[in-house]
A = this chain, B = another copy of it.
Amino acid sequence: MQLTADWVVGFVDGEGCFHVGLVEHPNMSTGYQVLPEFTVVQHERDIQVLYALKRFFGFGVVRKNHADRYAYRVRKLKHLEQLCEFFLKHPLKTRKNVDFRKFRRVVLMMKEGRHLTREGLAEIIDLASSMNTGDRPRLEAIKAQLAAG
């Protein structure tokens, strides 16, 4: 299956997810690890589309997600940088582009090591909180803890 850039943009506009996770990590200077992640989840009947995305980008993995669903997933920072280059050159057409721009900002900050400082992490938490609305209460609690600590 051969994919074109435009098809990939259209499909990601529908099915892609940009997410910034935050995990407690005692060895990190701030106490937290920032985990930006791009995923496309599909029913197992469309697993060949996930492998086609992996071939298209030349990075990422295909993994079982939950039940009968599989995910194409990119987590490595250098690959996320390449992914961001792609979506900067080929912009998403839905509001997902707003999330993408915040996501890209997090990736660029991490490239500069700013997630390792308390100020940088606070800014990342604000960005993540405005993207992953489901995580907002938890992220705001972490930010408050960070400011107090």
Q: Which residues of A are in contact with B by a Cβ distance under 8 Å?
A: 1, 3-15, 42-43, 45-46, 49, 52, 93-95
Contacts and interface: CB of A to CB of B under 8 A. Distances in A.
Contacts of A42: 94
Nearest to A45: B95
A57 to B, nearest CB: 14
Given A11-B13, A13-B49, 6 more contacts: A4-B6, A6-B7, A7-B9, A9-B10, A10-B13, A11-B14
Contacts of A49: 13, 93-94
8 closest A-B pairs by CB: A14-B14, A10-B10, A6-B6, A10-B11, A7-B10, A14-B15, A6-B7, A4-B6
A8 B11 CA distance: 9
Nearest to A1: B93
A9 B4 CA distance: 11
Contacts of A14: 10-11, 13-15
A149 B95 CA distance: 51
Contacts of A9: 7, 10
A5 B43 CA distance: 24
Contact of A95 (B46, B52, B93): B46
A102 to B, nearest CB: 15
A29 to B, nearest CB: 37
A62 to B, nearest CB: 15
Contacts of A94: 42, 46, 49
